[in-house]
Amino acid sequence: MKKAGTPYACHIFVCSNVRDNPDKPGCGASGGAELKAKLKEAVNAREWKGNVRVSTTGCMGLCGTGPNVLLHPQGVHFSAVTEPDLPTILETVAGQVRQ
């Protein structure tokens, strides 16, 4: 085993979990996968590849406030994310990117 720090200036985790509970369907049922795809497009368009990674994550335990997006290692959490929120998330990430 090797231990090291993160290789990314920012790792964007987007919950896309789908639950069987109709009262709490999960972030995936609320557009999590679509948000991840849009964020990935935006990261590629900004040529941040290698500095910023966008990944799908399972349940963060915050289904009632989803879709949820977490920036690591910044420890910034966004909840109830919709497509119009993506520029704010990307502005937050931009301050972390090594050019």
CA distance 31 to 9: 25
The pTM assigned to this predicted structure is 0.90
Per residue in 18-58, pLDDT (tens digit) is 888 777 778 888 889 999 999 999 999 999 999 999 999 98
Domain limits at 42? 10-94
Number of domains, the chain:
1
Percent of the chain at pLDDT > 90 equals: 68
Assess if residue 3 is contained within a domain.
Answer: no
Q: What does the block give as tokens for 17? A: 């979990």
Main-chain dihedrals φ then ψ at residue 34, nearest 5 degrees = -65, -40
- Helix%, strand%, coil% for the chain, nearest 5: 35, 20, 45
- Can you give the pLDDT at residue 99? 56
Q: What does the block give as tokens for 2? A: 């090797």
Listed range (31-35, 69-73, 95-99) with the worst mean pLDDT: 95-99
CATH number of the domain within which 74 lies: 3.40.30.10
- Can you give the pLDDT at residue 73? 95
Assess if residue 42 is contained within a domain.
Answer: yes
Name every residue whose Cβ is closer than 8 Å to that of residue 59 and which is 6 or more positions away in sequence: 15, 17, 19, 26, 27
